[in-house]
Amino acid sequence: MKSHRPLILPLDDEMCTLLRELISINDDIRKEHREKNDYIFLSNIGVPISNTVSPSNLIAKNLWVYSKKWNLKNVNPHSIRRLYAQNLVKRGADINLVSHALAHSDLSTTTRYLGLDVDTVAKNLRDFL
């Protein structure tokens, strides 16, 4: 969800593999805590994150814990979202599609979000002229 609108985004093979692993781990957590649900994002006691007080804060908190554990820098929901967008552009995705995937209402928001300045955009556009 972004701005209370659902987003439907494709996943690559690597992400599908990671999600399968998460689902398997979740099955163990649910079994241990005798929870019955089919949610993908769970708390450590097997209840859906959506049932906690603040789902976004819980995700951010878990990312912070993992980033400290593995000494990672700048790992937060926003940086993951930005990295997703940057990887789409690096793989050749049209910036309009990326803008829609991010649910940005304006293309200029996406260009700022990706750190594209006017000169870079103009230089890349020249390749199509």
Of the pLDDT bands very low, low, confident and very high (cuts 50, 70, 90), residue 3 is: low
**106-115 LR contacts (CB < 8 Å, sep 24+):** 110/85, 113/82, 113/85, 114/82, 114/85, 114/86, 114/89
Task: Encode 41-75: b = buried (16+ Cβ within 10 Å), e = exposed.
Answer: ebbeebbebeeeeeeeebbeeebeeeeeeeeeeee
pLDDT, tens only, 75-127: 888 888 888 899 998 888 988 899 988 888 888 888 888 888 777 777 777 87
Q: Return the residue matching tokens 């005798």.
A: 34
Mean pLDDT of 63-72: 88
pTM passes above 0.95: no
Output the pLDDT for position 52.
56
DSSP bridge pairs for 42: 48
Note the pLDDT tens digit of each residue in 10-63.
888 998 999 999 999 999 999 999 999 998 888 889 988 765 556 567 778 888
